[in-house]
Homo-oligomer: A and B are copies of this chain.
């Protein structure tokens, strides 16, 4: 077992998982739906910012349609990402800043999400079997998403 953050010299497993996350971010920058889907297992339980409660695996057509709602690149940046590897399983959690220009907004937006991922070793590579991404919301009567929080 090993536990690491991005600030600690990682093991090979951790290096590979952190590289997978970086590739996943790059795939968003490139708006490449197939590359976004690549690290997920076919039936991964994915809890997104938007409904439904869960997706099972990445639907390429739906992902491409979502990418097309943005002007230009979607940039993701991890912070305080904490990773734990135990045998053939791993999990990690931390913050991701999403920056980009939704066509509907007509301007650039930037906000922080919470992200949790669970992974399984398959042969020589790691696959994401669960992803949970969210933004909390204010329970002050407005119920608006808390897009203004910073880690």
Chain A residues packing against B (C-beta within 8 Å) = 1, 45, 47-54, 82, 84, 86-89, 91, 93, 95, 104, 112, 114, 116, 118, 130, 132, 134-139, 141, 143-146, 149-151
Bound together, the chains give a CA A134 to CA B151 distance in angstroms of: 17
Of A48, A95, A136, which is in contact with the most chain B CB atoms at under 10 Å from its CB?
Answer: A136
Given A53-B136, A91-B118, A114-B132; 16 other pairs, CB 8 A cutoff: A1-B87, A1-B88, A47-B93, A47-B134, A48-B136, A50-B139, A51-B136, A51-B149, A52-B149, A53-B112, A86-B87, A89-B91, A132-B134, A134-B135, A134-B136, A135-B137
Residues of B within 8 Å of A146, CB to CB, are 51, 53
Of A104, A137, A141, A146, which is in contact with the most chain B CB atoms at under 10 Å from its CB?
Answer: A137
Identify 18 residue pairs between A and B in the complex whose beta-carbon atoms are under 8 Å apart, listed by A's number.
A1-B87, A1-B88, A1-B89, A47-B134, A50-B137, A50-B138, A51-B136, A52-B136, A53-B95, A86-B86, A91-B130, A93-B118, A116-B118, A116-B130, A132-B134, A134-B134, A143-B145, A145-B145
Given contacts A82-B45, A89-B91, contact A144 B143 (CB under 8 A): yes
Residues of B within 8 Å of A84, CB to CB, are 89, 118
Q: Give the residue name and chain of the B residue nearest to A84 (CB).
A: B89
Q: Is B1 in contact with A114, judged by CB distance below 8 angstroms?
A: no
Q: Is B132 in contact with A93, judged by CB distance below 8 angstroms?
A: yes
